Amino acid sequence: MVDTKQLPQFGPGDTVTVSWEIKEGEKTRVQDFTGVVIAKKGKEDYKTFVVRKIATGGIGVERIFPLYSPQLKALEVVRQGKARRSKLYYLRQRIGKQALKVKARQ
């Protein structure tokens, strides 16, 4: 589990890489999921965030990650985005590169 003091500040519009531990049978491995944060929800210990990426073939994939889960191994902010709303659900209707376009924060 990532220490809460070590988590970077991030918000909607930021591109993040989430390292998540996956158990397959008796083996465990860490898988990275890189995408745009489109929402943050919850309060206190039950916070979650939604990350959306465009997979092969132009298919949009979203995953919901609990912020304080023991499976969360690392969280890295790749790019900071400037969002004027807290929920970026409008990105779901966009196609191709436009689906991930959020203005960069200076």
Q: What is the pLDDT of residues 49-70, one digit of tens each?
A: 999 998 888 888 999 999 999 9
Per-residue pLDDT at 84? 87
pLDDT computed for residue 103 by the predictor: 76
8 — phi, psi (to 5°)?
-75, 160
How far is Cα of residue 56 from the mean position of the Cα atoms in its chain?
18
- Taking phi first (over 0 means left), then psi (-120 to 50 degrees means alpha), and beta for anything else, what does residue 26 get? alpha
Checking if the pLDDT of 33 tops 70, the result is yes
Domains, the chain, ordered by start? 4-85 (2.30.30.790)
Q: How far is CA 34 from CA 5, 25, 26, 43, 45, in A?
A: 22, 25, 26, 24, 23
**How would residue 5 be classed by pLDDT, with cut points 50, 70 and 90?**
low
Express each pLDDT in 66-100 by its tens digit.
999 999 999 999 999 888 899 999 888 887 767 77
User: Taking a C-beta distance cutoff of 8 angstroms, is the pair 20, 71 a contact?
Assistant: yes
